Structure 1
Amino acid sequence: MSFTPSHQHDLPRPQDDGSQIPFDRREYRRVLISSYIGTAVEYYDFLLYAAAASLIFGELFFSGLSPLAGTVAALGTLAAGYLSRPIGGVVFGHIGDRIGRKKTLTMTMILMGVATSLIGLLPTSAQIGGFAPVLLILLRIVQGIGVGGEWGGATTMCYEHARPGRRAFAASVVNAGMPAGTALAAVLLGLFSLLPDEQFLSWGWRIPFLLSSVLVFVGLWMRLRISESPLFVEAQKKEAESEARGEDRTAPILQVLRRPGMLIAALCTGLAPFALNAFVNTFGLVWASENGGLSSTQTLTAQACGAFVNIFTALTAGYLADRIGHKPIMMFGIIGAALFAYPFLLLLGSGSLGAAIVGNVVAVVFIASFFAPLPSFISGLFPTSTRYTGAGLGYQLASTLAGGFSPMIFSALLAAGGGTDPRYVLMFIAVAAVLGVTAVVRVRKPLPEQETGAERTLVTGPVPSSTG
């Protein structure tokens, strides 16, 4: 898993049609690093909001409700961000498939940074009443559009710069950036939560949001140093030749929708992972606080420890997916997470910080196992000309349906159980796991890649039919 710097071109990389283009190991390494940092910054912004919504936004922006109802309402605003993610996937996917991945990723990062910084400046409901949650939701929507365009671009860049047999690991770097952003968000919010409650609720919570502007500059500096995807450049040349012959150029989203099989496959594969991830990283904060009696600082500390471990387990899972295949690793993650759901709640509800840390660390092993191979699995379903749009839209639809609504559903189910009975939540998790296993087993294999020299193919097997 090490990166060896080299100024020389290495073995050639096949395109989707089997023709060869050079492989630059040094540029490949730079793309992975920039994608990791850029994704970490984007998800710092997105998941900082999730942590704040779980712990304090109910009191700040929905103060007229009971504590539990306020938490449900605050978690409901998470859905607004997730609902807008497919919009970002379509809009920025179109731009990325037409003008380039690099330029599009710059746009998404700026959009995300501005929205997050503005959240840090928002007045609360005690200051402007009902306008506060409205503004909060609007900025959350902008966040969702930004992150909706981010994932597809970062994944596509890593996937298309890598050689066959290495693409699962390369794309897993994107998902390794997610827990890095989560850990940073949890650490900063946790540190400021050490302030007296009055100071934390008046201004302390704002600082992590305002720091987003600094992180965005770092991410932009890294992104501007990388080159465009070589597969995209070659695909653009062929598109230009087709246009010169008078052939019409169909919009990427129309190409994807005309053959929806792979889009549906991408959506179905991602539903269970997102539901399970929301269970651990969002609902887990509420459970530890309400039933375990842990403070905000303690719950954020446990989450930060899990997120830190997730960085390394994600890369390991991506590496293993290249060696033994995507499906065994993803199945291990889905089934393991479902079986661990009840012990996870017991650990978080014990009131012990050590037990909460153990619960989060074990949970992320399973989370990484299904999330790390997912980017390359989904990216391989689409050709270069529509990959940004197709992979991004499929992933974001899954994130909206499962990741966006799950925290609110979990909290509502918890309230239905009297606030302490998790049986309905666990039943929901069991159903999600069954659906996830079924989807992974039934999804057809991604487009096979040509072998180069002694390298293995990414995925072996027949080319999927046009209907998926």
Structure 2
Amino acid sequence: MSTPEDSSLTPTGMIATETDRRRVVFATVVGTTVEWYDFFIYAQAAALVFAALFFEPAGEGVGQILSYATIGISFLFRPLGAFLAGHFGDKHGRRVVLMWTLILMGAATTLVGVLPTFATIGAMAPILLILLRILQGVSAGGEWGGAVLMAVEHAPKTKRGLFGSSPQIGVPLGMLLASGIMALVALPGEEFFLSWGWRIPFLFSFALILVGYYIRRRVEESPVFTEIAERAEATKNPVGKLFRHFTLLVILAALIFAGNNAVGYMTTGGFITGYATNPDGPLALPREQVLLAVTGSAVTWLVFTWLGGWICDKIGRRTTYIVGWVALLIGIAALFPLVNTGDIGLLFLGLALLTVGLGLTYGPQAALYSELFPASIRFSGVSISYAIGAIFGGAFAPTIAQGLVQATGTTVSVQIYLSTVVVLGLIATLLLRDRTGIPLGPDHEEEQAASPIRGLSKV
């Protein structure tokens, strides 16, 4: 008897037609692009204008650290979003959760675009800004797990990495869109940008959310969850089951993402943008040029993210990650020496080199995570591991980097910090077995629950 895991069922595995396959891939790409556009617009604005507009009384240096800290605060609430999304996603399905995360993110981002500044309402301005950033964090915590499961659980087992890279591609696409639009609104000059130009990208989010919502509504529920629902086997307390049996696995999976995420937030979190454009800093490069360089690096990140997803179907998730970690260490070593030349072309080269390792350790993540956890708690497992990894990794990476530069007067300290996090990710990867191609359906729970950690029969 055929099972949903048999890639021979249809030409596209779990998906009935080519049209349905394109619809799933397109919906996951568009949905995550919109979500991460919203997230990165905030990070860019935090690097460029929020210190002056919302934290001016703290002074320039402290104000910039506080501005970066608001980026990190949202990460502290990602686990809340992951717990909620994991609970409802494992009980009621992936699709409904994705609809609500999209709406929540869009509403929070649009409201930032109409938020009064400190000069208008005083201390309430940064408080409201932080509250809206928290809502973004809750949304982001629930978004990723649902998107990757919709992609991977629809995929034939020989193409999970490729399908799983579709929501991953949405992240560099979101950064590409965010930094590109921010660069456009910066072109008219400082006065326009600081007065209301910075608001335009936030308000544009409203239109993007409508598009993303329409597209996601047209996608069917994940076939794995559909089978779980038909069997009435949804777990009553998936989060509790996850931590009773798979705590060590969650920690290792979180460390893997932390290594990638900490480095990624040098660009997506706006640190390089703020560092290179600071008028009182060592470089003081034009804002629009740096934003365009960041936009260009989003293109190379996209390419290597897709490449990472494709390659991991050929050589395995674990091997792809190991190659990616090595490439990332090389990229870290080259980044700041190139950036500190003050040449915009070399700054772009440094960012582009960094994206090689970033892509190779991000493209395979959806497939890797999906194959780590049993079907009944998979949404909870991937979402919570991702959210915890984001806290360990990117949450305060720009804040830490800014503090290190101010304390030491050199970017070498930042390189040491980033390299340390990457090495921890490499160690976590080496501790895992490669489970490429393991059956994902609920009828293979026992096989899925067997420990993926090397040297252990149980987690």
Q: Establish whether TM, by shorter chain, passes 0.5.
A: yes
Where do 1:331-346 residues align within 5 Å?
331-346=322-337
Aligned residue number for residue 287 of structure 1:
275
Summarize the Cα distance change of 1:463–1:166 in structure 2 as closer, same or farther, 3 Å threshold. Answer: farther
The answer as to whether partners of 2:106 and 2:206 remain within 8 angstroms in 1 is yes
Aligned residue number for residue 124 of structure 1:
117
Partner SS, residue 284 of structure 2? coil
The residue identity in structure 2 corresponding to 1:353 is I
Q: How far apart are 1:435 and its partner, in Å?
A: 1.0
> Following the alignment from structure 2 to structure 1, what is the Cα–Cα distance between the partners of residues 458 and 263?
29
Q: Is 1:57 equivalent to 2:65 in the alignment?
A: no
Aligned residue number for residue 9 of structure 2:
none
Q: How far apart are 1:103 and its partner, in Å?
A: 1.1
Aligned residue number for residue 441 of structure 1:
430
> Following the alignment from structure 1 to structure 2, what is the Cα–Cα distance between the partners of residues 412 and 273?
20
Unaligned runs of 5+ in 1: 1-10, 16-20, 244-248, 452-458
Q: How far apart are 1:22 and its partner, in Å?
A: 5.1
Q: 1:316 aligns with which of 298, 307, 318?
A: 307
Q: How far apart are 1:62 and its partner, in Å?
A: 0.7
Q: 1:353 aligns with which of 328, 333, 344?
A: 344
Q: Is 1:196 equivalent to 2:189 in the alignment?
A: yes
> Following the alignment from structure 2 to structure 1, what is the Cα–Cα distance between the partners of residues 80 and 439?
33
The answer as to whether partners of 2:328 and 2:354 remain within 8 angstroms in 1 is yes
Q: Is 1:268 equivalent to 2:260 in the alignment?
A: no
Where do 1:61-460 residues align within 5 Å?
61-238=54-231, 240=232, 249-259=235-245, 260-281=247-268, 282-289=270-277, 290-418=281-409, 421-446=410-435, 449-450=438-439
Superposed CA deviations along residues 96-131 of structure 1, whole A, max 9, x for unmatched, are 111111111000000000000000011111111111
Partner SS, residue 371 of structure 1? coil
Q: How far apart are 1:362 and its partner, in Å?
A: 1.8
> Following the alignment from structure 2 to structure 1, what is the Cα–Cα distance between the partners of residues 451 and 387?
25
Q: How far apart are 1:287 and its partner, in Å?
A: 2.6
The answer as to whether partners of 1:447 and 1:463 remain within 8 angstroms in 2 is no
Report the TM-score, using the length of structure 2 for normalisation: 0.91
More displaced 10-residue stretch of structure 1: 144-153 or 348-357: 348-357
The answer as to whether partners of 2:157 and 2:437 remain within 8 angstroms in 1 is no
Superposed CA deviations along residues 390-431 of structure 1, whole A, max 9, x for unmatched, are 10100111001211011111110011013xx11211211221
Runs of 4+ in 1 over 4 A off after TM superposition: none
> Following the alignment from structure 1 to structure 2, what is the Cα–Cα distance between the partners of residues 185 and 395?
22
Q: How far apart are 1:370 and its partner, in Å?
A: 0.4
Partner SS, residue 279 of structure 1? coil
Aligned residue number for residue 24 of structure 1:
16
The residue identity in structure 2 corresponding to 1:339 is I
The answer as to whether partners of 2:239 and 2:380 remain within 8 angstroms in 1 is yes
> Following the alignment from structure 1 to structure 2, what is the Cα–Cα distance between the partners of residues 121 and 83?
24
RMSD over equivalenced CA pairs, Å: 2.2
Report the TM-score, using the length of structure 1 for normalisation: 0.89
> Following the alignment from structure 1 to structure 2, what is the Cα–Cα distance between the partners of residues 331 and 294?
35
Q: 2:38 aligns with which of 34, 45, 55?
A: 45
The answer as to whether partners of 2:316 and 2:436 remain within 8 angstroms in 1 is no
Q: How far apart are 1:463 and its partner, in Å?
A: 5.5
> Following the alignment from structure 1 to structure 2, what is the Cα–Cα distance between the partners of residues 446 and 130?
51
> Following the alignment from structure 2 to structure 1, what is the Cα–Cα distance between the partners of residues 435 and 458?
13
> Following the alignment from structure 2 to structure 1, what is the Cα–Cα distance between the partners of residues 127 and 14?
51
Superposed CA deviations along residues 56-75 of structure 1, whole A, max 9, x for unmatched, are 11111111133222111100
Q: How far apart are 1:304 and its partner, in Å?
A: 0.4
The answer as to whether partners of 1:115 and 1:139 remain within 8 angstroms in 2 is yes
The residue identity in structure 1 corresponding to 2:36 is Y
The residue identity in structure 2 corresponding to 1:379 is S
> Following the alignment from structure 1 to structure 2, what is the Cα–Cα distance between the partners of residues 450 and 330?
21
The residue identity in structure 2 corresponding to 1:178 is V
Superposed CA deviations along residues 234-281 of structure 1, whole A, max 9, x for unmatched, are 01122x2x69xxxxx531101111112321221122121111112343
> Following the alignment from structure 2 to structure 1, what is the Cα–Cα distance between the partners of residues 89 and 167?
17
Superposed CA deviations along residues 114-168 of structure 1, whole A, max 9, x for unmatched, are 0000000111111111111111000000000011111000001001000112111
Unaligned runs of 5+ in 2: 7-12, 441-446
Task: Report percent identity of matched pairs.
Answer: 34
